[in-house]
Amino acid sequence: MTCWETIGAYAFRSLGYGERLLPKSDFTLCQQFTLIGSGLIWNIYFGVLALAFGFFLANALALAKTARSAWVRKPAEWFIFVFRGSPLFIQFFLGYQLFVLLPKNGVELWGITVHTDWLTKAWAGALFVLFLNTAAYSAEIFHGALMAVPKGDLEAADAYGITGFARFRRILWPTMLRLGWPAYTNEAIFLFHATTLVFFSSFPAFRQQGDALYYAGYFADKTYNPFIPYPIVGFYFICLTLLLTWAFSLVNRRLNRHLPSNQRARIRLRPQLIR
Amino acid sequence: MKKTLLASALVALSAFAANAQDTVRIATEGLYPPYNLIDDAGNLAGYEVDLGNEICKRAGLTCEFVQNDWDSMMPNLNSGNFDVIMAGMSITEERKKDRLFSQNYMPPAVSYYVATSADADIKAGVVAAQTGTIQAGHVAESGAQLLEFKTPDETVAAVQNGEADAVLADGEYLQPVVDASGGALVVVETIPLGDGVGAAFRQSDTELAAKFDKVIAEMKADGSINELIKKWFKEKAVLF
Amino acid sequence: MFSYCADPSTLDSTRWMLCYLTSGKHLLFYSSFGTVLLLLAVTAPVALAFGFGGAMAARSHNPGLRLFGKGYTAMVRGIPDIIFFMFFVIALDQALEWGLHQWRCPDWVEPIRNGLEFKVCPAAKVPPSSAPQIWHEVYGFALAVVTFAIVFGAFAANVLYGAMNAVPRAQLETAEAYGMSHRQVFRRVLVPQMWVYALPGLSNLWLILIKATPLLFLLGVKDIVYWANELGSSKTDTFAYPHGDWKLWYFLGLLVFYLAFTRLSEIVLSRLSRRLSRGQATMAGEAMRKAAA
């Protein structure tokens, strides 16, 4: 099999297209690169969607944490503490065990049957756990940024008569995003790294469709040589990290575009926010 | 700090090297009762542990059982961290290419498809199996949809909670589980897989493999291996 | 543990539970919490030392050393830590044995790499195969510590590198004006001052390290996750205490442990941060000075 044929057969194997059986003998570098790259699709899927959904919940949580009413504030604080204070590994595990306990035939809610069995599948269940997890970490970042919004900005808003939701939407929120963005970039990078835990902790791989680490593990198991597949995963993740940094710096430039160039926040990678 | 720690450990360790008699280190998984398990006192036990100790006694070897993950068995065997694997490993043509097997110490047995009902779809449905086992390989090729887990008990749990339609594993492992389920689990179908279970060695370790082979043949001849099988696998066991 | 535990099948539920929770296996489970704490206690200083070395290398004037330092500090940014854990242990083990083999058995003729096998002379085996199991476990634990320290040392190097750069330039210049050499400035001014800048990052790193301990079982150490998995899985009559799948409860226990440990660490670290801020030319230090006056 030439390398092109291999790519044709396995490039979308992780989604269930192409060759049904994984290679069994005569392993080539091309096979390893193709299949592990195919698995990377899942890492990107988990990372992008968890980040996108998590962003909204994070904003809500950050606001709830600033609320005066303890009824709003306390749950948000506890949510953030539980998800930031425990290992993601354990969260995945508990998540899977809980989803499995849900009734198989769905739950009757107001006469409508809500199906729950899809939650035990990695594509939904793991995404849900990652979504909650990144929301908690991002909420902490956004809360910190919200607290750091300069007093002068708010006074200026008051002077212009901007109040209530308009003040939040036009003054507070953009400044919060701008201040929090470098840290949020870090969170995004480490979220992508965390996606490798999905099939590793508790969610079973279905029809041998897994992420990059799953296929690397398959090759390490078959070839007894961990020194090739795992560095390939590393290589893919370096590329992914560079791509992500670039995309986030574009947003960062837009958020800072009104500022003189020497006052702009630069994105510096600090590994302060992994799980 | 790390250097001194390592250095002092090395010095301490080289003191043992003086004892010429090499210990044969036997690895097992400890999660596959009754083949191998960790008993309630926290020690390794099971059929393979009893058998391994008996083989070593008869062959005049000093042996020690160590516990190791199923996933990392072969890399550790090849890099010499232990010398033998006795972990319910089925003998297959594919595996014979990269490791040496003793003759089987469990007869070629059948694997069971176990499900919650007898009409479970094992041809095209979702079948759970442990990663890296011959059963997992069989499911992948059978046309059913393979659901992989790291440990054997997770595969059974997957059937009990409806994740999978059926589980495929060694009959000896599944039989007690089915018995204990009180009718909740049933055997759907049985298929012969592999040439029985044997001990695995590095390909260059022909001498050690020959020693094990000889004692296993001896134990088959005098019937003592059947006694051990009966002790651990109860009355339904297939004997030599 | 208790005398009536001899035959568990005859016990009522309270006593059964009591016996169950004090079985030998459970005692091993409880002691594995000690293993995790020990790993943290040993790894934290070693990782800090690695980080210190990495940060110094990254600031070095020697371009080769600087490249190495920068590469080391950058490595954890691009690659998930779990990837390192997957093959570092076996790499370290083989590297060590290979080195010992060269040193102790120079006359050995057989190839070390033979197909899939990696075979060194018996004198170079670490630990020797005749060593009692405890030494194999100590060795496995040491490998785990070193692997953890290399990976988290890279994180620490990041933090310390930033902290060294954060010490006000004027302080160093003043020291130079007093005639101190580079070395003296580094030792007497830079290092004592940088801790307060490094503390937020290092606190974070400590919390990260706590949360990374469930990966310990990847490195072949029987930790709390291993035992929770083993004890929680359903047990048939082969065992003295048969039960169903109880994993959920064991893992809930682990969750509580980690949350409590994190909370405790946060409290201690915030106290430490106040201690270190005393007398420092930072906002926090200034606030403390004013409050005292």
* Average of per-residue pLDDT values in chain C: 85
Average pLDDT of B24-43? 87
Rounded Cα distance, A113 and A91, in Å: 27
Please tell me which of A22-36, B42-56, B65-79, B149-163 the model is most confident about, judged by mean pLDDT: B42-56
ipTM: 0.86
Q: In DSSP terms, which residues pair with B111 in a beta bridge?
A: B170, B191
Kindly report which listed range (A33-47, A108-122, B180-194) carries the lowest average pLDDT score.
A108-122
- Point out the least confidently predicted range of A53-67, A191-205, C274-288: C274-288
Mean pLDDT across B94-115 = 87
pLDDT reading at A64 higher than 90: yes
| Mean pLDDT confidence for B19-32 | 78
Do the strands B62-67 and B23-28 form a parallel or antiparallel pair, or are they unpaired?
A: parallel
User: CA C236: distance to chain centroid?
Assistant: 36
pLDDT at residue number B11: 46
CA C105 remoteness from chain centre: 33
A171 close to A162: Cβ distance less than 8 angstroms: yes
Domains of chain C: 15-292 (1.10.3720.10)
Please report the pLDDT score of residue A269 as a whole number. 53
CB contact under 8 A, A226 and B163: no
For A139-162, letters b (16+ CB in 10 Å) and e give bbbbbebbeebeeeeeeebeeeeb
- How far is the C-alpha of B133 from the C-alpha of B127, rounded, in Å? 13
Q: Give mean pLDDT, residues A114-118.
A: 73
User: Can you give the pLDDT at residue C50?
Assistant: 93
Which residue of B lies nearest to A225 if distances are taken between CA atoms? B75
C206 touching B, CB under 8 A? Answer: no
Percent with pLDDT over 70 in chain B: 90
Q: Which C residues, 101 through 130, put their C-beta within 8 Å of a C-beta on chain B?
A: 114-120, 122-123, 125-130
Residue A265: its pLDDT value, please? 65
Please, what are the domains in chain B? 22-107+196-233 (3.40.190.10), 110-192 (3.40.190.10)
Q: What is the pLDDT of residue B108?
A: 81
pLDDT tens readout for residues A195-231: 999 888 778 888 788 889 989 988 888 887 888 999 9
* pLDDT for the residue C1: 57
The verdict on a CB contact (< 8 Å) between B132 and A221 is yes
Please give the average per-residue pLDDT across C94-112, as a whole number: 84
**Residue C253 contacts A where some CB pair is shorter than 8 Å:** no
Instruction: Tally helices (H) and strands (E) across chain B.
Output: 9, 13
Q: Which residues contact C199 (CB under 8 A, 6 or more apart)?
A: C269, C272, C273, C276
From residue C166, give the alpha-carbon distance in Å to each of B117, B183, C53, C267. 67, 69, 18, 25
- Test B75 with A207 for CB contact under 8 angstroms: no
More confident call, C244 vs B43: B43
Q: What is the pLDDT of residue C282?
A: 64
B114: chain C residues, CB-CB within 8 Å? none
Q: Give the amino acid at C201.
A: G
Range with the lowest mean pLDDT among A233-242, A266-275, C194-203, C223-232? Answer: A266-275
Which range among A97-111, A209-223, C209-223, C237-251 shows the weakest confidence by mean pLDDT?
Answer: A97-111
Across the interface, whether the CB atoms of B149 and A204 are under 8 A apart is answered yes
CA end-to-end distance (rounded Å), chain A? 41
pLDDT at A80: 93
Q: Which of A229-243, B144-158, C131-145 has the highest mean pLDDT?
A: A229-243
Residue C293 makes CB contacts below 8 A (sequence gap 6+) with none
Q: Assess whether pLDDT exceeds 70 at residue A268.
A: no
Question: Per-residue pLDDT averaged across A112-140, rounded?
Answer: 86
What does pTM read for this prediction? 0.84
Q: Chain C residue with minimal CA distance to B81? A: C129
B101 pLDDT more than 50:
yes
The answer to whether the CB atoms of B148 and A208 lie below 8 A apart is yes
Listing from the earlier edge strand, what are the strands of the sheet with B23-28? B62-67, B23-28, B84-85, B200-201, B100-101
Q: Is the pLDDT of residue B165 over 80?
A: yes
The overall average pLDDT reported for chain A is 86
C-alpha span between B236 and B238 (Å, rounded)? 7
- In Å, how far is B82's CA from the nearest CA of chain C? 8
Per-residue pLDDT at A273 exceeds 80:
no
Q: Is C262 on the interface with B (CB under 8 A)?
A: no
Q: Does B48 or A200 have the greater pLDDT score?
A: B48
Q: CB-based contacts of A62: which residues, under 8 Å, 6+ apart?
A: A138, A139, A140, A142, A143, A146, A176
Contact A220, C86 (CB under 8 A): yes
Cβ of B148 within 8 Å of Cβ of A204? The answer is yes
All domains of chain A in start order, with CATH: 42-263 (1.10.3720.10)
What is the pLDDT at residue C268? 92
Is the pLDDT reported for residue A274 higher than 50? no
Q: Is B66 an interface residue toward C (CB < 8 Å)?
A: yes
User: What digits encode the pLDDT tens for the residues C229-281?
Assistant: 888 887 777 777 888 788 889 999 999 999 999 999 999 988 888 887 776 66
Give residue B1's pLDDT band: very low, low, confident or very high (50, 70, 90): very low
Q: What percent of chain A has a predicted confidence (pLDDT) above 70? A: 92
Which residue, among A165, B38, A133, B195, has the nearest Cα to C230 in the 3D structure?
B38
Kindly list the residues from chain B whose CB atom is less than 8 angstroms away from the CB atom of residue C141: none
d(CA B214, CA C173): 79
pLDDT value of position C25:
85
